[in-house]
Amino acid sequence: MNKTLLIILGVIAVIILAVFSSYNGLVGSSQAVDKSWADVQNVYQRRADLIPNLVQTVQGAANFEKSTIVQVTEARASVGKVQINQNQAPTDAAQLAQFQQAQGQLGSALSRLLVVAENYPDLKATANFRDLQAQLEGTENRIAVARKNFNDAVQEYNVKIKTLPAVFFAGILGFQPKPYFQAVAGAETAPTVKFDFNGAPAAK
């Protein structure tokens, strides 16, 4: 076996090792994204599970605006209609945007409900409502953290598939870029509330 052949075999061996190492790294990063996605699902589900108790509590307040309760209930139902894999992070940006939009509408409806509740001292004074409000606030913080962790995991993964040597084979092996959560337009603006006890929309 001559020296040239040994050099060629050595180069091939190095390339193969680099490919295997890069592939394993991509698998690990992809799994990290899926785990972060599952964490996102868990905190959103926690919020959804709190809503029935919250709705039941506020319905007991005299003259509480029914339209506000309806908005929350309908927004929660809309979230359930979004078809998305619970265990695997989406690769379709439009699908993630649809999920995010539904969750954003639910978050906005909850915000309006809590703003309206400020005008019901008897409701605010109940221990059950205060506990649910605190749990919701904590859940919103968890959602923000989970979304950030998800975006961090996606960033790490997307960088890996676009750098050497993975950039040459990632697409062929099914490693495609994954979309990020985007900032919701108008999220920085607090909801405005118009009181109407005759059933008209309570907020815009």
CA distances from residue 16 to 19, 162, 165, 200 in whole angstroms, order as listed: 5, 18, 11, 67
Q: What is the value of pTM for the model shown?
A: 0.82
Contact 66, 195 (CB under 8 A): no
Q: How far apart are CA 150 and CA 100, in angstroms?
A: 13
Per residue in 35-59, pLDDT (tens digit) is 999 999 999 999 999 999 999 988 8
Any idea where the domains of the chain sit in the sequence?
A: 19-168
Q: What integer pLDDT is reported at residue 65 of this predicted model? A: 82
Contact 128, 55 (CB under 8 A): no
Architecture of domain 19-168: Up-down Bundle (1.20)
Please tell me the total number of residues recorded for the chain in this structure.
204
pLDDT band at residue 200 under the 50/70/90 scheme: very low
SS3 172: coil
9, with CB counted inside 10 A (0-12, 13-18, 19+), is exposed
